[in-house]
Chain A
Amino acid sequence: MIRRRAALAALAAVVAGLAAYPGFASGYGVRATLQIFMWIVLAGSWNLISGLTGYVSFGHVAFFGAGAYTGAILVAKVGWPWLPAALAGGVAAVLLALVIGYPCLRLKGPYFAIALLGLNEVLRALVSYFEGLTGGGNGLSLPTLDATIPIYYAMGASAASVTLGTYVIITSRFGLRLMTIREDEVASEAMGIDTARHKLYAFLLSAAGPGIVGALTARDQGYIEPISVFPLATTITMIVMVLLGGKGTVWGPVLGAVVLFVAQEVVWTRYPYVHPLLFGAIIVAVVLLMPRGVLGLLQSRYRLPRTI
């Protein structure tokens, strides 16, 4: 009981600190932290579908890109303010997930992964093609606006929502059923779980976050182009973050996002010409040595609760 109170108090302190951060941090500090929030949302969302149900989404950045373009087009061409545009980005991503989730979730393992990968490329190519709307290869430029601090809060709220949402799901029966599907889908069906519907819900939920932060990022950068919002590297990075922290846990994605982002920043500053090599090495190390991630390891060693 006391440990739980202490943990909650610590959490409250961290949240308060983060809320006050923009008051005394440099522009870079705010922007870097805002990007960490973004990664938390991406990693946490990926965790919802792939960590909980075991369906590896290898093209998850497609939702980020869809949200980015929706938000950017609404701001630049229709004149919406960025916050409703961001929410619209989330909606667009969820609709996309509905359209592709329904057929794709019937595929097994590697096929699902490849299908999502293909979908990501289709989306990127389509965005490039419909130039009139999206600017095509030219990219899309938004009106100048210094909204870094409000966006920081929006991203922070998104990160908190995803983490909280994951906690709620993991502790619910819905979450339990998802994990049953992960362990043995056939048995779950036999037990009477409507696997198709459960998977779809998880998939839809996992698309909302990336959609919203995609639109927020577009606003923050002020310029997007197809290659930079649909890259495979983003999908891989979010996956590695979850793996590092602990797949299927609540705080795993948060831990992974923070650690990896900070590591990358530190590494880049020191070794400009070799960081892809180092990143590759980190990925290999995580996959081989810590496939269950830090929290997964702690969970089995120290009997940490499942809901962590």
Chain B
Amino acid sequence: MTTKALGAVIAAMAVLVGGLAAQAQGPIRIGASLSLTGTYAKLGKNQHEGYKLCEKDLNAKGGLLGRKVEFVVYDDQSTPATAVRLYEKLITEDMVDGVMGPYSSPVTEASANVTEKYKKVMVAPLAATTSIFKRPPDKKRYYVFMVISPAEVYLEGLIDMAAKRGLKTVAVVNEDTLFSKAAAAGAVDIVKKKGMQVVFQEAYPKGNTDFAALLTKVKSLNPDVIAAATYFDDAVALTRQMRELDVSPKAYGVTVGGDLPEFYDTLKANAEYVYGATQWEHVLPYPGNNEFFGAYKKEFGHEPSYHSAAGYAGCLIYAEAVKRAGTLDADRVREQLLKLEMRTVFGDYKVDQDGFQVAHRMVTFQWQEGKKVVVWPDEMAPAKPRFPTPPWNQR
């Protein structure tokens, strides 16, 4: 070998070794843009705590690929445009090794464009909108992965139970935002599939708190079921006004918000009999659920919501895929995520070719005597629903 060639080889080896050494020593940095202020602040914070607990647990067990795990988190103020910029920052300036998803469907939808551009795998634990994952062939996405059940099945439990008990007419109301619209559309589909009839469907603007006119219309049609795709504020206002206007369907369910302890604290007896859907409850028989609940409560001083659990599980799922791939390389990790079948504290994980979640099951619960009792699906339900919901004046 000539001296020049030898020199080149030595230089190359030095760079390689130096690079490897740098790699081996530094922590694995995972970036995320989360909604720490703005509309989604409370839930974004829960997700952040889920990530933090996952980081802690991973490091306690020796880290990932022999390195410590470190989260780098920015606040996108619940705005998609900011999240887009922040993910660019994380990927191109902070040079993070991996990314995890943000809070909410609109923010995830916008951010996915960035992660796809740079071919970074993104496990998006709090995106429930099908259209983020199922796209027409010219817009297909390869690197986003879903963890929670899609919005369309939130009201499935309610409708299924109603159908089994011979109910016929359904009124669907929803907030006019991405998630709620998808939940409502899904509900309408399921109603039709079960041979029931949608007698009323109306959307209301975000922030609306007076449903008098809406409920007056609903009441005049006297539906058996009211399926409401809501968040918290509107769920509370709707329930209270149903009582005031004496709207008494045989079954009434809400989506997001109905599962928060505040829902019962706020409504007290008026929350009884209300059905809600949740991606996760800490009483469900998933492995490590109790430990997670206890550790979270100890670390952060309050109970985890499903957003916390989803964040925690999403991070673990990503870590598992990295472990199995043996590398952080996006395409390898992606292969693993497509094949992976895993049960975490959050439930089952398995995705189809589009990264769309197919194994996770939602549960429907009912507020019974101040407690959330899981009533659907039957195989996970320890109790029966209290059916039908008695009219207000008979309670």
Interface set of A (CB-CB < 8 Å, partner B): 26-29, 31-32, 35, 125, 128, 136-139, 141, 143-144, 146, 217, 221-223, 225, 227-228, 268-269, 272-273, 275-276
Contacts and interface: CB of A to CB of B under 8 A. Distances in A.
B138 A26 contact: no
Interface of B: 36-37, 73-75, 77, 79-81, 84-85, 88-89, 91-93, 106, 109-110, 113, 116-118, 131, 138-139, 141, 175-178, 180-182, 203, 205-206
B36 A31 contact: no
Given A28-B93, A29-B93, 16 more contacts: A125-B205, A128-B176, A136-B176, A137-B178, A138-B178, A221-B80, A221-B113, A222-B110, A223-B113, A228-B79, A269-B74, A272-B36, A272-B73, A272-B75, A273-B36, A273-B37
A276 B81 CA distance: 16
B110 to A, nearest CB: 5
Contacts of B110: 221-223
A147 to B, nearest CB: 10
Nearest to A137: B176
14 contacts: A27-B92, A27-B118, A28-B85, A28-B88, A28-B92, A29-B92, A35-B85, A137-B177, A137-B178, A144-B113, A144-B116, A222-B110, A228-B106, A272-B36
Contacts, number: 90
Contact of A146 (B36, B77, B85, B117): B117
A138 B85 CA distance: 21
Nearest to A276: B37
Contact of A227 (B141, B182, B206): B206
A272 B37 contact: yes
Contacts of B109: 139, 141, 223
A272 B72 CA distance: 12
Contacts of B180: 137
Contacts of B37: 272-273, 275-276
B139 A143 contact: yes
A32 B91 CA distance: 13
B388 to A, nearest CB: 32
Contact of A268 (B74, B84, B92, B176): B74
B210 to A, nearest CB: 16
Given A27-B88, A136-B181, A225-B178, A273 B75 contact: yes
A272 B80 CA distance: 16
Contact of A139 (B84, B93, B106): B106
A126 to B, nearest CB: 12
Contacts of A137: 175-178, 180-181, 203, 206
B75 A268 contact: yes
A225 B205 contact: no
Contact of A221 (B84, B116, B176, B206): B84
A221 B203 CA distance: 27
Contacts of B79: 228
A225 B91 CA distance: 25
A276 B85 CA distance: 18
A141 B135 CA distance: 10
B142 to A, nearest CB: 11
A76 B23 CA distance: 42
Nearest to B108: A223
Q: Which 5 A-B pairs have the closest CB atoms?
A: A27-B92, A26-B92, A272-B75, A222-B113, A137-B176
A181 B31 CA distance: 52
Contacts of A146: 117
Contacts of A217: 81
Contacts of B181: 136-138
A49 to B, nearest CB: 24
B55 to A, nearest CB: 17
Contacts of B118: 27
B337 to A, nearest CB: 20
A222 B117 CA distance: 11
Contacts of B77: 275-276
B131 A141 contact: yes
A44 B283 CA distance: 57
Contacts of A143: 138-139
A26 B73 CA distance: 19
B85 A32 contact: yes
Contacts of B131: 138, 141
A255 B85 CA distance: 21
